[in-house]
Amino acid sequence: MWFSLWSMNSRPSSSLPWQTKPVTISELLQRSAELTASDSAVLDTELLLSHALNVSPTYLKTWPDRQPDSDCVTTFAALFQRRLRGEPIAYILGYQGFWSLDLKVSQHTLIPRPETELLVETALELQLPQQSSVLDLGTGTGAIALALASERSDWKVTALDFQAQAVALAEENRAAHQLHNVQILHSDWFAAIPAIKFDLILSNPPYIENNDPHLSEGDVRFEPASALVSGAEGLNDLIHVIGHSAAFLQPSGWLLVEHGCDQGSRVRALFAEAGFSAVETRCDYNQMDRITLGQLRPC
Ligand SMILES: C[S@@+](CC[C@H](N)C(=O)[O-])C[C@H]1O[C@@H](n2cnc3c(N)ncnc32)[C@H](O)[C@@H]1O
């Protein structure tokens, strides 16, 4: 879900005595007890320690009595303090897994969420031409575009974002995974799109209400508002994307969008108004309305 259970109640410890004397891996892992506000405290601690020691999580379990050198312990202490302050693990480690890819992340855009994989999964199930052209609006790290491009080397994928730093990040991720069938553009939604028609448009746009109280809690506090909020009802960007997509789709082209769990009926109505048929909302793994898709009605 959008909001993790990491709460504002988490307080960093003022001193970390275990930084100054030799400690074992097992003792360092026990620090997970301090991450009282995290719903994944043990895993968080394992990830941070294996990152600081540059070893696999399996190594930590295999050698619990080893004493890491003091530099590694100091590095771990610094990472652990950031997590104590509530910073998301992905920002601390600098990457996040999405689909089959490890993606670099930064504070300029959203950390890809597991539920967004439903957009990718659904897109891959559609009956589309073999050499489809695909557009990902608001690509962030490039998650959706790169996942699709990695599965369908014959698809030509265009991805865009209006944040220059997100465009640079998505390009870095594209290059790291050597996905040559993706081009990444700097654009305010459709403004800089070339005059071609796509077989499929996808978007996970900002869809949180401006005043949603969750914005000041948990991991989401560290993510940019430009990737999250979209007007009083959270619908401004969905209205824009759904309202303008038809002009950029082939006859019978598909549109897939992610949205909030309470936005399904509004989004389906927007699809119908914009000329889409076969409109359907699908649930994520938590059985919450999460994506809506529709096919453009041929004229
Ligand atoms: C919810 S995030 C999704 C990021 C990525 N697609 C994902 O699923 O992880 C929304 C993205 O839309 C971008 N965005 C917001 N407004 C935009 C606009 N007017 N034009 C283009 N991109 C926009 C944000 O910068 C952000 O990267």
Tokens for 124? 């891959």
What gap in Å lies between CA 186 and CA 118, rounded to an integer? 25
| DSSP calls for 13-24 | -S--GGGTS---
**Runs of H (alpha helix) within the chain:** 25-29, 41-53, 57-62, 70-84, 89-93, 117-125, 143-151, 164-176, 236-245, 264-273
Looking at residues 159-174, what average pLDDT do you find? 98
The pLDDT of residue 21: 73
Mutation test residue for ligand 1: of 139, 158, 203, the one with most atoms within 8 Å of CB? 139
CA of 206 from ligand 1 middle (Å) equals 6
Q: Can you tell me the distance from the alpha carbon of 157 to that of 225, in angstroms, rounded to the nearest whole number?
A: 26
* pTM score: 0.91
Residue burial 254-280, b: 16+ Cβ < 10 Å; e: rest: bbbbbbbbebbebbbebbeebebeebe
Lowest mean pLDDT among 14-18, 44-48, 101-105, 228-232: 14-18
94 vs 110: CA distance, rounded Å? 12
Contact 44, 115 (CB under 8 A): no
Provide the mean pLDDT of the chain. Answer: 92
Q: Report the SS3 class of residue 95.
A: strand
Task: Give the number of the atom of ligand 1 that is nearest the alpha carbon of residue 189.
Answer: 20
Residue 69 CB: number of other CB atoms within 10 A? 10
Is 230 touching ligand 1 by the criterion CB < 6 Å?
no
The 10s digit of each residue's pLDDT in 133-149 is 999 999 999 999 999 99
Residue owning the nearest CA to atom 2 of ligand 1? 227
Q: Has residue 14 got a pLDDT over 50?
A: no
The domains found in the chain, sorted by start residue, are 17-86 (1.10.8.10), 101-296 (3.40.50.150)
Q: What is the pLDDT of residues 110-134, one digit of tens each?
A: 999 999 999 999 999 999 999 999 9
The tokens describing 200, both together, are 């499929």
Report how far residue 103's alpha carbon sits from residue 184's, in angstroms, rounded to the nearest whole number: 15
Query: Is the confidence at residue 34, as pLDDT, over 60?
Result: yes
